[in-house]
Structure 1
């Protein structure tokens, strides 16, 4: 059973990594907000068909909890997809991966800390420092004749994408509070449903929405909604009932690696020495944070 859980979670992470390239390509035919709304609406419809009966016994407080989780999830996806307009898929994936570093750091705040989770240890701060240095190398070129970063050349897409890692970190912490008390079926429905509602509410504020249905866009919507959202959420919820949270989190750190491989094979994207060193430092920072176990939940943060 454990071997199956590891295999399925690895496949889920590979799908998440590949979606960065898919979404980047799909944005040629759709605005980010419209794409996200269509994706989450379709994912909700699939989950409703699978788990709709589980909503019969839902309680009012669980609806409120689902709304909070859905709000954090919507924020993460909106920042991520808008950021992809201005940055590359692999850079977006590495920055999104910082969620694994941010979660233990946010646990400094008692109100954010899920029950049973301790204050962050020294390795969380070391991992955050390494990841920050990595993101500087990844996102900023060096000044002429110097190793110092040229802050004036920073990509606004990278800054926006950092907002997504904050949103997904808050989503992870919200799940840590809610998931022990709510069955994963209604919770998946509620968070995806409310995520779609909040995306619809934010639609007028995120530019002129448009969808131009093309085979490329339809394929991206089907893969991201059905495989990378509905099926992936169900598989992750099942796998986390079998695997230790730290093992799940370590598997999720492979997401930017799969994203870079996909981007290299499909788009021919290459990382020069400086950003490649930054990407490696981010992965080391994530590993330092997670290899010394800390009891916090992992979260889905696919493209």
Structure 2
């Protein structure tokens, strides 16, 4: 492995760690604000954090480079933001322990949410069947492993699943749809236009989340300040820093390496939940996590 590829792998490892630990921040933030308030401010910060990157890349754009159609980018960014809003809202509500407890419902944990959300990696190639794509054998074996792992992780002995886990699972389908939509919109975009598209989608998600928060949640300055560290991590680190690292790293990363390393996001979520929140997985749950991770990696290595 050359130096550039090794550096790319290190940056991707850091990216996976930042994203995984974001599940801990999302869980902690729910002790102070509602899920839509958290997402609204978080994605607004994320959009703002990407503006300097977009401006820097714009100044370095090679003269004569084709510029993406602004109308197509704006419309595409709004649709991406809508998919992101639904997926992120379901995930965040699923992690909202205090809010769900008021209705006698059980929330997901940071570790479980990380692995369940990661199922979008397996769902994407399966959804590709609707686009006349033909997934390889790795996709089907990976999906089978992931389903068994999901059962062991989230379905109890009496065949019940927590409300929070169910919401996160439904959200994974929207994350998969979001990835497919990105695949339709991103061809032909250079780096700077891709960053601009992301900025638009984060802004759209923030606006939709804040509208929902104003309509359904109580927003207080005390709550926002209380959730401040978690919101800052979720917005600046998870979106601004991690996204920038990913863009830089994937210029030199080998696709197989990138797929495996980024799949570790769910592992970091579980480790972070254990170290910072005292979350403990049973032996059954750990076996489920191992099967899910294996399924995610296999679906990427043999697409």
TM-score range, shorter chain: 0.7 to 0.9
What is the Cα deviation at residue 193 of structure 1? 1.5
CA distance in 2, matches of 1:19, 1:209: 23
Residues of 1 paired with 2:281 and 2:213: CA distance?
34
In structure 1, the residue matched to 2:64 is none
| CA 137–57 in structure 1, closer or farther in 2 if over 3 Å, else same | closer
Q: Which residue of 2 aligns with 1:169?
A: 176
**Structure 2 equivalent of residue 62 of structure 1:** 73
Look up the SS of the partner of 1:288 in the other structure. Answer: helix
Structure 1 position 64, deviation (Å):
0.9
Which runs of 5 or more structure 1 residues have no equivalent in the other structure? Answer: 143-149, 295-303
Corresponding residue number in structure 1 for 2:104: none
Alignment-derived partner of residue 48 in structure 2? 45
Unaligned runs of 5+ in 2: 59-66, 97-106
Indicate whether 1:7 and 2:28 are aligned: no
1:100 touches 1:249 (CA, 8 Å); kept in 2? no
Q: Indicate which of 122, 130, 145 corresponds to 2:145.
A: 130
Q: Which residue of 1 aligns with 2:136?
A: 121
Query: Shift of residue 52 of structure 1?
Result: 5.0
- Deviating more after overlay: 89-98 vs 214-223: 214-223
> Residues 172-251 of structure 1 correspond to what in structure 2 (within 5 A)?
172-182=179-189, 183-203=193-213, 207-211=216-220, 212-213=222-223, 216-251=226-261
Tell me the C-alpha RMSD between the 2 structures. 2.2
Matched, 1:20 2:23: yes
Report the Cα distance in structure 1 between the residues aligned to 2:33 and 2:25, rounded to whole angstroms.
12
How far apart are the structure 1 equivalents of 2:251 and 2:76?
A: 20
What is the match of residue 118 of structure 2?
A: 97
Deviation at 1:204, TM superposition (A): 5.4
- Contact 2:41–2:210, Cα closer than 8 Å, also in 1: no
Contact map agreement 2:80 2:182 (CA 8 A) in 1 = yes
Instruction: State the TM-score, normalizing by the size of structure 1.
Output: 0.85
Q: Could you tell me how far 1:84 is from its partner in structure 2?
A: 0.6
When the two structures are superposed, what TM-score results if normalisation uses the length of structure 2?
Answer: 0.85
Residue in structure 2 matched with residue 155 of structure 1 by the alignment: 162
Count of residue correspondences:
278
